Amino acid sequence: MSHDQSGKTTRRDFLGTATAATALTLGASPNAEAQTAPIKSDQIQVAQLTTTGQGAAPTAPTTPDWTKPAAMAIPKEGYFKLEQGRYGPVFPRSPANYGFTVIAKVKPGREQAIRDYGKTIEEAVKGSPTVLAPLRLHYLRWVLFDVGSGLHFMYQGIFDTDFDKYVEDAIALFNSTGITTVFVNLEGWPDDWRTNTQAVIQFFRDHQRPSFLEYGEYPYVTADEVKKALRVKGSLSTMLDQMQ
């Protein structure tokens, strides 16, 4: 590593190190297997153009590479191979990680209650930024819409656990915090949801709309790995600034 005439390492000297160190943090973390379910070779289908004129042909890379954007076309059923989990079919991990979209009809007169609940979540996260940490979320998106058949609510979430564990963790989270769930405002939601995990998961499966394409700019990277990379970047930036 080169130095300036005063014997101090220069900012430029560290640029390569900073880039490499930040990149390394996006690799598999030591406890990655404990955080997410293993990726099976028949669950990874990256859309790729062929040279045979047959359109897109899926391939199955053995090791996901976060440096290469990836797309996955998913069958209508939501899985490539029927495999039973604890509560039903196991859905694959996509380049965007695990997730689901739930669409259900809103009970009459409950629109404002749903919108108010969005504010409740906002305030809860402000008061305790890690309140939703057990869900291992990347992001949530809630939408209210009416296409002529009544008001509907759409819940989209991307997270780092499998479908069943996410629902179990959500029930445990709401029970431990005492905060109710927005889903009580939806038709078909079980009244005994706090104690009836099977009924809750059945509701989600009945109202889930599986995506048929998912894309990841940095595929299969967990939220923890993203945050770790940002922490390394911030630490390196601070260190380099102090060298000026």
- Per-residue pLDDT, averaged over 72-94, amounts to 88
Q: What pLDDT, on a 0 to 100 scale, did the predictor assign at position 55?
A: 43
pLDDT of 235 > 90? The answer is: no
pTM of the model: 0.69
| Mean of the per-residue pLDDT values of the chain | 79
- Per-residue pLDDT, averaged over 60-72, amounts to 78
Give the length of the chain.
244
91 in Cβ contact with 39 (< 8 Å):
no
* pLDDT tens, position by position, 170-209: 989 888 887 789 999 999 999 999 989 889 989 998 999 9
Higher pLDDT, 41 or 27: 27
Which of 30-39, 64-73, 222-231 shows the lowest mean pLDDT across its residues?
30-39
For the chain, give the percent of residues with pLDDT over 90.
44
Tokens 């769930």 belong to 181
Higher pLDDT, 133 or 6: 133
Q: Enumerate the domain spans of the chain.
A: 1-29+235-244, 41-221
Report CA-CA distances (Å) from 12 to 16, 17, 45, 233, 237.
Answer: 8, 10, 41, 15, 12
Assign 30 a pLDDT band (cuts: 50, 70, 90).
Answer: very low
What's the gap between Cα 127 and its chain centre? Answer: 23
Cα 229 from Cα 81, distance rounded (Å): 34
Contacts of 181 (CB under 8 A, 6+ apart): 170, 174, 193
Cα 243 from Cα 10, distance rounded (Å): 7
Assign 155 a pLDDT band (cuts: 50, 70, 90).
Answer: very high
Assign 244 a pLDDT band (cuts: 50, 70, 90).
Answer: confident
